[in-house]
Amino acid sequence: MAVKTVGGKGSNTKDGNGSGTYSAKDIQVLEGLEAVRRRPGMYIGTTDLRGLHHLIREVLDNSIDEAMNGTCDRIDVIIHKNNEITVADNGRGIPTDKQAQTGKSALEVVHTILHAGGKFGGAGYKVSGGLHGVGVSVVNALSTELHVEVHREGKVFEQTYERGKPKGPVKVIVRGHYEPPMLSWKERKNPTGTITTFAPDPQMFPIIEWDANIVSNWLRETAYLNKALWLSLKDERDDRDESYYFDGGVISFVRHLNKSHQNLHPRPIYVEKTFENDTVVEVALQYNDTFVEKVYTFANNINTIDGGAHLTGFRTALTRTLNAHARKIGALKEADPNLTAEDVREGLTAVISVKIKEPQFEGQTKTRLGNAEVQGQVATAMNDILGQYLEENPQDARRIVEKCLTAFRAREAARKARDLVLRKGALDGFSLPGKLADCQERDPEKAELILVEGNSAGGSAKSGRDRHFQAILPLRGKILNVEKARADRMLGNEEIKAIITALGTGIGDYFDASKLRYGKTIILADADVDGSHIRTLLLTLLYRHFKALIEQHRIYIGQPPLYRLQLGKEVRWVHSDSERDKAVKELKAQARTKREDRKTAAKAGKKATAAETAEDEASAKNSDEGSDDGKGGREPAIARYKGLAEMNAEQLWDTTLNPATRTLRLVTLDDAEAADVVFDELMGNEVEGRKKWIMANAKKAELDL
Catalytic site includes residue 419: no
Contact 562/641 with Cβ under 8 angstroms? yes
Contact 515/548 with Cβ under 8 angstroms? no
| Helical axes 49-68 vs 212-225, angle rounded to 10° | 20
DSSP 352: E
**Annotated catalytic residue, options 236, 272, 466, 530:** 530
The whole-angstrom distance between residue 491's C-alpha and the CA centroid of its chain comes to 28
The Cα 686–Cα 362 span in angstroms is 39
**Annotated catalytic residue, options 526, 676, 681, 686:** 526
The Cα 213–Cα 252 span in angstroms is 20
Name the residue among 473, 319, 335 with its Cα closest to residue 404: 319
Contact 536/529 with Cβ under 8 angstroms? no
Using alpha carbons only, what angle is made at residue 420 by residues 418 and 423, rounded to the nearest 5 degrees?
110
**Annotated catalytic residue, options 235, 448, 453, 676:** 453
DSSP for 19-37, please give it.
-B---GGG-----TTHHHH
**Annotated catalytic residue, options 153, 293, 528, 671:** 528
The Cα 56–Cα 306 span in angstroms is 22
DSSP for 413-480, please give it.
HHHHHHHHHHHHHHHTTSPPPTT-B--S---GGG-EEEEEESHHHHHHHHHHS-TTTEEEEEE-SPPP
For 278, left (φ over 0), alpha (ψ -120 to 50), or beta?
left
Catalytic site includes residue 145: no
Query: How far lies 14's CA from each of 8, 10, 28, in Å?
Result: 15, 11, 21
Identify any residues that bridge with 676 across adjacent strands, giving them in sequence order. none
The Cα 668–Cα 550 span in angstroms is 6
The Cα 637–Cα 617 span in angstroms is 16
DSSP for 246-287, please give it.
-SSTHHHHHHHHTTTS-BSSSS-EEEEEE-TTS-EEEEEEEE
* Residue 335 DSSP SS3: coil
* Residue 652 DSSP SS3: helix
Catalytic site includes residue 530: yes
Catalytic site includes residue 488: no
Active site residues: 453, 526, 528, 530
